[in-house]
Amino acid sequence: MLANNYRYKVMFMMLMLAIINYIDRGAISYAQAEIIKEFGFDNVGWGMVLGYFGYGYIFGSLFGGILADKKGPKFVFTLVGIGWSIFVILTAFAGEIGLSLFGGSALTGFAVIRIFFGLAEGPTFSTINKANANWAAPKERGLAVGLGILGTPLGALLTAPIIVGILSITNWRVMFIGLGIFGIVWVLLFRRMFSNMPEENPSVSKAELEQIRSRAHLLPGEKVVGDSKKEIKWYEFFKHRALVFNAISYFSYMYVNFLLLTWTPKYLQDEFNFQLSSLWYLGMIPWVGACITVLLGGKLSDFLRRKTGKLRIARSYFTIVCLALTAACFLIIPTVNSPVAVIALMTIGNAFNSLPNTVYWSIILDIEPDKAGTYGGMTHFVANFATIIAPTLTGFLVTYYGYSSMFIAAAVAVIIGMMTMFFVNPDKSISKLSIVNRQVV
């Protein structure tokens, strides 16, 4: 039986890579007290430090997806995994780099390192989507995507105990150096067992390959890798209304995700006077539910797909309901004063927000699996403007309007994402593509 499940080992290794990716990006939030004290950043300046990551991330996600289609996911995983690990190490010296090379500005040093760090991390999830297109059977797409992006909440959850534990025995500079070295080692291990296609991997049996390439469970118009009859250009992404609005809706998920990842530690310290020693478990709580729902969402979406035969119900309407519940939770937070109530609402809201996370990536696989990397990169490019806007805007909002305003802003972003999903109809997009492919043949 194990011989028929090598693809799940590949998915597990990608999950671990995604977890490392998220721990590395979230680590700076728990080191914020030491860094702010050493370099004298205020809330606005600190928001900018966190937001600089997004400037590189949006372009990394865009070009990384295109590169994954052209060079294969193995090449991209190796390049970016080693690349971001190097910039994690350099984060330990970012302030000194700025003071020495950029006119005595520590902020500029952090800006340069964080931008390049984001650029290197950006291709990860669009490349995972490309790998899932190559490795996952059509009936497992929701599950495969769910396993890949489980690294988002699970990595965020594990960041708190791992980083607080490291900081309790050493300083923030040693922490970044250690994280970077570990990342390089893991990428090299991953490279040894991964291949771009299951056909290229000697560990994949003939029976498993038949499962992966099976057409038995395809809906009318659905495709597997290799089905496209014409060359697809990157700009054709914008011809698909479903893909464009899907990307805009994904922005709302990313806004909530990055807001909680970057500002939760400082919020808990400033508003409720929690110490770093308490954050190892408090920082985990908002992500506990999300670790469950990110997988549950993929299973529920696949279940609705099987039962209704309608991707619009399984993907779009499912997402609309989840986002409505997310917005409700974040709108209630400013009305409560208890830290228990606040953390509970953050946890429930984040859990609802993560339910449709797999949907955004599954829609790409539903519509055009042969361009999963490129179209995944385009989707991530649009959505990842949230990695700039969420932390940077929050710095201004907190300074001038208090912490309640950051939750209201998150609810507004989610409501926008909910509304755009009404315009996403994967069934219609697939029907159009089927007609085009028949004409080409």
Look at the block and give the residue holding tokens 């990536």: 361
Highest mean pLDDT among 235-244, 264-273, 302-311, 316-325: 316-325
More confident residue, 225 or 116: 116
Nearest CA among 99, 387, 83 for reference residue 258: 387
Burial of 337 (0-12, 13-18, 19+ CB in 10 A): exposed
DSSP state of 316: I
Q: What is the pLDDT of residue 283?
A: 85
Question: How far is the C-alpha of 351 from the C-alpha of 150, rounded, in Å?
Answer: 12
Of 383, 331, 366, 306, nearest in space to 136 by CA:
366
Residue 243 one-letter amino acid: L
Average pLDDT over residues 153-167: 92
Tell me the fold of 2-197+236-440: Growth Hormone; Chain: A; (1.20.1250)
Tell me how far apart the terminal alpha carbons of the chain are, to the nearest angstrom: 39
Query: What number of residues does the chain have?
Result: 441
d(CA 388, CA 47): 9
Q: Kindly report, residue by residue over 326-358, the tens digit of the pLDDT.
A: 999 999 999 998 999 999 999 999 999 999 988
- Contact between 386 and 251 (Cβ < 8 Å): yes
Phi-psi group of 223: left, alpha or beta (phi > 0 → left; psi -120 to 50 → alpha; rest → beta): beta
Report how far residue 339's alpha carbon sits from residue 347's, in angstroms, rounded to the nearest whole number.
12
Q: What local confidence, expressed as pLDDT, does residue 61 receive?
A: 86
- 205/367 Cα distance (integer angstroms): 28
Distance separating alpha carbons of residues 132 and 73, to the nearest angstrom: 10
Residue keyed to tokens 């400013």: 334
Q: What percent of the chain has pLDDT over 70?
A: 92
Q: Which among 140, 236, 218, 144 is positioned nearest to 433, based on CA atoms?
A: 236
**pLDDT for the residue numbered 428:** 72
Beta strands in 14-172 (DSSP E): none
User: Domain limits of the chain?
Assistant: 2-197+236-440
Around Cβ 369, how many Cβ atoms within 10 Å? 24
pLDDT at 224: 57
Q: State the pLDDT at residue 441.
A: 37
113 and 87 Cβ atoms separated by less than 8 Å = yes
Q: Which residues contact 271 (CB under 8 A, 6 or more apart)?
A: 339, 403
pLDDT of residue 366: 82
Tokens at 348, concatenated: 């429930």
Which residues are within 8 A (CB) of 376 and not within 5 positions of it... i.e. 6 or more apart?
65, 68, 125, 126, 127, 129, 130, 361, 364
Neighbours of 207 (CB within 10 A): 9
The reported pLDDT for the residue numbered 329 is 97
Between 418 and 206, residue with greater pLDDT: 418
Q: Residue 370 — pLDDT band, cuts 50, 70, 90?
A: confident
Q: What percent of the chain has pLDDT over 90?
A: 55
* Band of pLDDT at residue 437, cut at 50, 70 and 90: very low
User: Coil, helix or strand for 167?
Assistant: helix
